[in-house]
Amino acid sequence: MQPEIIGLGEWFATPPGQYLLAWEQVQFDLSVVDLFGFNALQLGLPELVTLQSNRMPHRWLSLPEEFGAETPPASVSVPGSGHQNRVHLVTDAAALPFPASSLDLVVLPHTLELSADPHQVLREVERVLVPDGRVVIAALNPVSLWGWRQGRSRLAQRLGVHAFGASQPFLPEVGQFIGPWRLRDWLRLLSFEVESDRYGVYCPAVKTDQWLQRLAWMDRFGARWWPVLGAVYFVVAVKRVRGMRLLGPAWRPRQAVRGASVPVAQRR
């Protein structure tokens, strides 16, 4: 039995895909609601509106070319963002059409793991962000029940084992897992400072909505008992510019030289 290969958009329409998107939408809303500035960019994954709770005046949605042959709509509007922000860009995630230090916020919903060159994508994000600008990253966690299920199916495919559905991939066969420890190292090399991180979706890799609802209790207890085993993790990082300080004028006003006081002799 050959494994069923589905695209990213088709997988997000499945019950586990909808379950993941619902949890991530809440987390994105909480992560960007208090981030201020002028320009924000969501890079990829139009199934999520990650900037709907953000109040920056200019919010962009860009779909990288690495996302495959799934054709996005001609124009994607961000709810509550105003008519001037109904701009949809199709561009390469590793070569963003923005000048250096021009964006205050960049959101990467599974963009790195779906990119052919995640290192270059992060370098581009660092280039376009202003000093103290923020990047919000969501990625699938390889050290989780979902990651273990996906790794088992890939191993079964290499070994040619097709019994008991072992070779059936749970996640779409695109991209690669990036562990949170690796992502932290990449961010540190680019002078990013991790401000916060969190994990979520602790239920097992089941494919029906009925079982997802039955096992939803694991999401309530997972953050307490096994926090780093969530299927997805979020990272909010700040771009730091080392050695940067404001310079004053090169000259200083010269103070008038006051003469020394001379004692005056008095007869009395």
Number of domains in the chain: 1
Judge whether 205 lies within some domain.
Answer: yes
pTM of the model: 0.76
Residue 250 lies in a domain: no
In this prediction, residue 108 carries a pLDDT of: 94
**Residue 104 domain-assigned?**
yes
- For residue 187, what pLDDT is reported? 95
pLDDT tens digits for range 115-131: 888 999 999 999 999 99
263 occurs within a structural domain: no
- pLDDT tens for residues 22-64? 999 999 999 999 999 999 999 988 888 999 999 999 898 887 5
Which of 161-175, 190-204, 210-224, 238-252 is least confident? 161-175
In a domain, residue 2? The reply is no
179 or 173, higher pLDDT: 179
What is the reported pLDDT for 253? 55
Distance CA 66, CA 48 (A): 17
| Helix, strand, coil percentages for the chain (3-state, nearest 5) | 30, 20, 50
Helix 118-128 and helix 180-189, axial crossing angle in degrees, nearest 10 = 50
Checking if the pLDDT of 192 tops 90, the result is yes
On the question of pLDDT at 10 being above 90, the answer is no
Q: Is residue 43 part of a domain?
A: yes
Averaged over 210-236, what is the pLDDT? 84
As a whole number of angstroms, the distance between CA 236 and CA 48 comes to: 17
Domain that holds residue 21: 8-239
20 inside domain: yes
Q: What is the CATH number of the domain that holds 192?
A: 3.40.50.150
Q: DSSP letter string over 27-48? A: HHHHHHTT--SSEEEEES-TTS
Residue 256 lies in a domain: no
From the list 97, 194, 197, the residue with the least C-alpha distance to 141 is: 197
**Confidence band for 85, pLDDT divided at 50, 70 and 90:** very low
What amino acid occupies position 124? E
Give Dmax (Cα) for the chain: 122
Average pLDDT, the chain: 77
